[in-house]
Structure 1
Amino acid sequence: MEEDLISKKELLEVTGISYGQLYRWKRKRLIPEEWFIRKSTFTGQETFFPRDKILARIERIKNMKDDLSLDELADVFSPSPAGVSVRWDEVSERHIVTEVAQRVYRERHPEARVLSFDELLCLYVLDAALQTGEVSLDEGRMALQLMENEYPQLQRGAEQGRAVELVFVRKLGIATCLLATLPGELRFEQGARVVARINIPACVEQLKLKLA
């Protein structure tokens, strides 16, 4: 299914931002270059954007720009900030994730003392999955392993503005999980149902705010 797009003219009208703001945010990488889509129309070449993603991003920028500089906002929206690390005791002290998620993570990494941002993201996504109430501890363990093994390969897509989702599917009581880059469609066999979907870019932004 083709992604729903919004024209630049409509975007400026709906959000109330100016042409200058839009392109200033583009230059600062608050809005990915890949979201500026050039298409031919009867009036010539026009710029369009993925509707849901651009509207959500602009709303977040507007809500945060009074408290953070554009450079700080750019770091919030980058997929993986270099040089960020957190001591394990801080994870607990700052309530970054729940104790249940911490226990599951420690089972797999009992010697962990300092977590990089990417390692902390895997823990944070695990916590987000468990907090849906639809994902069991065993399914959470499976998701943690998947994130650690496969998400680094998908980060390139995240850097280019493509969303990555962690999807849990269950059929006849048996669950599996997968990582999917969006936009795209997921089709499953009859009787299978999606029980949880975790948006990884949203987790990245939430985690950065917790660490700020």
Structure 2
Amino acid sequence: MERELISKKELLDLTGISYGQLYRWKRKQLIPEEWFIRKSTFTGQETFFPKELILSRIDKILNMKDDLSLDQVAGKLSPALPDYEMRSSELLKRNIVSRTALQAFAPNDPDHTVYTFEMILFFYVIDKLLEAGDMSLEEGERLLETLKEFFPKFEGKACELVFVRKMGVSWFALLSMPTELFFEKGVKVIARLSLTEIIEELKGKLV
């Protein structure tokens, strides 16, 4: 499963930003270092980017930079998790996480339970897949255990979740971004989610 790439020249032409802006945003960590992909072409070495991710990121930067400093924008776009907590009752009230998800995966917790941003993120991701009809509750339990075990290993680095199924058997993987994936015949990719993008989305709802 190969990500569509866009060259640096195409990116600058399409977005209207300058070379200087692009690399200033890189220095300020608004754009992850790993998104700058060097590849050999017939003209030599060129820089490419994961198209969907970089276009979304530049759109967000342009929308925020007039109201916030670049350091503030970097804080909002960082994959690092904020030191933030919220009660489950407030999560339900603000429609961040569904009652179905909380009852299924934290059935013994009363409404006053306080969750860290990390746990809210896990519930939020699971909720997305359940609401889309892509995942069963049993798979949701396995995904929660996968996230608990492996997500902390990325320590604030950009990563993504891949959910695939073949002949009724499903599995999950967390990968560094950007990564090209190729599967054997018959494997169906159910979802491929940028957890970095989801963290940004969740920060906008909570912080």
Secondary structure, in 3 states, of the residue corresponding to 2:17? coil
Cα pair 2:31 2:57 within 8 Å, conserved:
yes
The aligned counterpart of 2:165 is 169
Aligned to 1:56: 56
Q: Distance in 1 between matches of 2:189 and 2:43?
A: 42
Give the SS at the match of 2:128.
Answer: helix
- Partner in structure 2 of residue 36 of structure 1: 36
* Larger RCO (CA under 8 A, 6+ residues apart): 2
Match of 2:181 in 1: 185
Q: Match for residue 88 of structure 1?
A: 88
Is 131-140 or 30-39 further displaced after alignment?
A: 30-39
1:40-189 correspondence to structure 2 within 5 Å: 46-107=46-107, 110=109, 113-153=113-153, 155-156=154-155, 159=157, 161=158, 163-171=159-167, 173-181=168-176, 182-188=178-184
> Which letter does structure 1 place at the counterpart of 2:204?
L
> In 1, distance between residues paired with 2:161 and 2:23?
28
Q: Tell whether the 8 Å contact from 1:169 to 1:196 is kept in structure 2 after alignment.
A: no
Deviation digits for residues 30-85 of structure 1, max 9, x if unmatched?
11123234566677765443333222211222233345442232122211234222
Between Structure 1 and Structure 2, how many residues are aligned? 205
AA at the equivalent of 2:70 = L
Match of 1:22, SS state, is helix
Contact 1:121 1:207 in 2 (8 A): yes
Q: What is the aligned-residue RMSD (CA, Å)?
A: 2.9
Task: Specify every segment of 5 or more residues in structure 1 that has no aligned partner in the other structure, as ranges.
Answer: none
Query: Residue 177 of structure 1 aligns to which amino acid in structure 2?
Result: F
What secondary structure, in the 3-state scheme, does the structure 2 residue paired with 1:196 have? Answer: strand
Match of 2:201 among 202, 206, 211: 206
Question: In the alignment, is the contact (CA less than 8 A) between 2:61 and 2:73 conserved in 1?
Answer: yes
**C-alpha displacement of 1:3:** 5.7
Q: Which runs of 5+ in 2 are unaligned?
A: none
Distance 2:175 2:109 in 1: 29
Q: Within 2, Cα distance between the matches of 1:128 and 1:119? A: 14
In structure 1, distance between residues paired with 2:82 and 2:71: 15
Question: How many Å separate the matches in 2 of 1:72 and 1:139?
Answer: 37
Give the aligned residue type for 2:190: V
- Contact 2:121–2:202 under 8 Å retained in 1: yes
